[in-house]
Structure 1
């Protein structure tokens, strides 16, 4: 996934295709060309995650309560430089590893 705008992103599920080619088994298409038989399975998985179970109060322990979970709600920020910091003895080396520069 490569977001093109900044802001809040809510991931609610995953859509996928599984493809399997059966080696050795071929069939001819309308043009007479040999093709490998393959199977495509389309799938979808909705993601509903729960935060950690709350057990701090007696009421929380009596009921099934979960805290908030924001792992599937990342905030997309403008491109930021990649920074590498190396510490050796008392010397510090800082350099850019990405396409953006930092100041």
Structure 2
């Protein structure tokens, strides 16, 4: 499955759980959700997620870790955490901030 579709699926699952809890109908048609209120809520949900930008640190190189007196295992763990955070954040429809050059 395409990564964007997987992300949308996770985002939609979260929306639909919220919508059910809020008492909205989840019937769908070719245009989206059959009920105007649910379709509007979905569009607002997606739009609200698009404006949230999460800044994450860069992955750490072995050289950076060494300069800070850290072991290579720390570097690997730190980098894995950053990469897994990216996956988790984008899977719920949020955006990762762009890197800036200082």
Q: Smaller-chain TM-score range?
A: under 0.3
Higher RCO (C-alpha under 8 Å, 6+ residues apart): 2
Structure with the larger strand share? 1
Structure with the larger helix share? 2
TM-score by length of 2: 0.22
Asked which structure has the greater CA Rg, the reply is 1
